[in-house]
Amino acid sequence: MKSVCVYCGSAAGKSPTYAKAAQQLAQHLVERQLELVYGGGNVGLMKVIADEVRRLGGHVTGVIPQALQERELAHADLNHLYVVANMHERKAKMAELSDGFIALPGGIGTLEELFEMFTWLQLGFHQKPLGLLNVDAYYDPLLQFLQHAVGSEFLKPEHHALLLRSSDPEQLLQQMQHFEDCLRHTPKQVT
């Protein structure tokens, strides 16, 4: 793993714990010499993690749609910024540039990005690790719903297990580095 895409809020969230978690994740990325790939924004948790990776001397690549860049939401101090036509191109480019994916707390956009990568992983369109950084139990209701989906037989247990989760960024990155073990126990054909 050389690069990690981090999905997160364009808002900072109600609790200062979210920003602190973004900074901690940035520190662990830099310590492991992992490049940050993210949505290119200069707002919310997006700004927090990008600023911290840059402050610590790490490499940051942003991917932002033209419409958002024109609204002056693009971060000006990145190693590289891709400006793409739309949100579909943004997600595809971020996936192409990344060896793994982490979702920090965020809103609908973060969830949409997370679930697209989860779907692609389940279908075998990629075999990259995907994890939730569950800061202050933010994702507990989502994890309960996914367990409900398993119990209702809409989500297979082996696919549910593909979504890594931890409240600790170091532990989550360790899980991601051992993701191949998880893949060995997942059927190759998805029905």
pTM equals 0.93
Domain range 3-184, CATH class:
alpha beta
pLDDT in tens, 85-116: 999 999 999 999 999 999 999 999 999 999 99
- Domain parsing of the chain, residue ranges: 3-184
pLDDT confidence bin for 118, thresholds 50/70/90: very high
Reduced to 3 states (helix: H, G, I; strand: E, B; else coil), residue 98 is coil
Which tens digit of pLDDT belongs to each residue from 121-134? 999 999 999 999 99
Q: How far apart are CA 29 and CA 58, in angstroms?
A: 8
**Are 100 and 128 within 8 A, CB to CB?**
yes
For the record, the structure tokens of 86 come out as 């739309």
User: CB burial class (10 A; 0-12, 13-18, 19+) of residue 93?
Assistant: middle
